[in-house]
Amino acid sequence: MFSVAQSSVIGSPLFTMNPKPEIFMFSSEAARKAYERRARCPFLYSLIDVICEVVKLIVRIILFIPIGLFWVLGKICQNVLLPAAGGAFSGQLCFVKRLLQEAFHIRVSSWVDSGYASSVESIPIQNDDLFIDALRIEFPNARKDRWMLISLGNSECFENRAILRQCDDWILNIAKQSQANVLVFNYPGVMHSTGPISRESLGKSYRACVRYLRDHPKGPKAKQIIAYGYSLGTLIQALGLSKETTDGSDGINWFVIKDRGPKSVSAVAFQWVGKLGQWATKLLGWEIDSAKFSESLVCPELFIHGMDCQSQLIGDGLFNRNNCFAAPFLDSNSPNLPGKKISVGEYLLLHQGVLQEATVQKIVEHITNHFDPGDPNETSDSGE
């Protein structure tokens, strides 16, 4: 641990090649004991895991139809949905390398050296069989109880994003201008994060981060949470929040942002592969219907999308118009919903494009108007 001009990059895990958990969460006593057994004899259990995988592979080969076929289709779904984690048919897009860790450490050190951030801290979370590598970023002007939880795209990790996006990380800019601190995490199988890769584990990792922010003894005790999802992150966000209280009844004030997400996994599978993809996604348990989850969301939800010169919704180059998350909510025949929906469009916005500063300002305005409605220094809601 070291400090720089009253700002700090905290914890050796920012540079270590083998971080250890510091935050522990267990769903049951049995889960806690199972983790302790593995921690006492890691080599033995790793060997058992390898043997089990070999046995499973042999069984799948022998019973290739239909069990083996299901396994192959499931792995294909996993690889397409989360290429950053790799799998049976492709290598990881985001994996641990010493050079990457060194470059990442230099980048976040420059954040605190320049005064951009006041502190950057690694938050390794053990939640049952999931090890979640998270990063906590605090800004000098941020409110102590206002936090943004970021869920990234399917080919990203926070290390690569920090290095590649020097001054144009629109998500961090929105957080900073909204006076919010940040917690961002890597999905299971990405970089240092480990554990089973499944629909359930992705949602579980998100909820573990919510728990850390909201009520864990070592967490910040956040009272205002901005849930920001980008691309795949909008789906993980929707899945995670479907089991959380977001109506404010527990004292937590939420604001949800979906940035260029699809309305569901099966809709995208149908766009790319046809009915076979749609059928396989649902049958193999990878379906996440973000639009359906959103219908019951009570807190405000802002969605970002591309538009044409007539301010009409368009596709973003990855998802076609009808598969964009915004599509059902911009339909004139859409039903009245319990939560406020806020549309923010940008002209000819591409899926991997950087948000323009004007768009960033609109989003910041909506956030501050929600959390600080009586602040005389803030402008009124633009009514989009």
Start-to-end CA distance of the chain, whole Å, equals 45
Give yes or no for a contact between 178 and 368, defined as CB atoms under 8 angstroms apart: yes
**Residue 369's pLDDT is what?**
97
**Residue 93's pLDDT is what?**
81
Instruction: Specify the residue for token string 């260029």.
Output: 260
**Residue 361's pLDDT is what?**
98
Instruction: Region of 233 please: left (phi>0), alpha (psi -120 to 50) or beta.
Output: alpha
AA letter at 334: S
**Residue 63's pLDDT is what?**
62
> Residue 82 and residue 288: Cα distance in Å, rounded?
14
Identify the CA nearest to 260 among candidates 332, 316, 191. 316
| 3-state SS, residue 149 | strand
Instruction: Region of 23 please: left (phi>0), alpha (psi -120 to 50) or beta.
Output: beta
| 3-state SS, residue 119 | strand
**Residue 381's pLDDT is what?**
40
* Mean pLDDT of successive 10-residue stretches along the chain, which has 384 residues: 43 65 85 82 80 76 64 76 72 84 93 95 95 97 98 94 89 98 96 93 97 96 98 97 95 98 96 91 93 96 97 96 96 88 97 97 98 63 40
Q: Is 169 exposed, middle or buried (0-12, 13-18, 19+ CB in 10 A)?
A: middle
**Residue 42's pLDDT is what?**
79
